[in-house]
Amino acid sequence: MYHNISLTSKELKLATLIRRKFSQITLFVIQLSGSKLASSKPCKVCHHMMCVLHVKTVVYTDTNGNLHEEKVKNMETNHISQLSRVMKKN
């Protein structure tokens, strides 16, 4: 799914800048089911991307609508999103 690529020095500087910016944010992930909050804990692919981008903190909702705040580096998830399951079949 992920490939090793070579970056030019300009691309590498841009990637470093993006990671630096993302490391300063708290990412909120909210999912609605009708008018109620639903479970929105990031899936394995999203967690991986947050790690790559150096996102430090994520806030998400559980099935009861409660908010949870976690450091991305400490977060564990086994969830595979519906989209990932569909993509894997193809």
Residues 36-88: pLDDT tens digits? 999 999 999 899 889 888 899 999 999 898 999 999 999 998 888 877 778 77
Mean pLDDT, rounded, for 5-20: 82
Q: Say how many domains are in the chain.
A: 1
Q: Does 5 reside within a domain?
A: no
Question: Which residues, at least 6 apart from 69, have a Cβ–Cβ distance to it below 8 Å?
Answer: 26, 57, 58, 59
Check residue 58 and give its pLDDT: 96
Q: Does 17 reside within a domain?
A: yes
Q: Which domain holds residue 34?
A: 10-89
Distance CA 64, CA 59 (A): 14
Check residue 69 and give its pLDDT: 96
Q: Is 65 helix (H, G, I), strand (E, B) or coil?
A: coil
Considering the entire predicted model, what is its pTM?
A: 0.73
Q: Does 1 reside within a domain?
A: no
How many Cα atoms sit within 13 Å of 42 on the Cβ side?
23
Q: Does 2 reside within a domain?
A: no
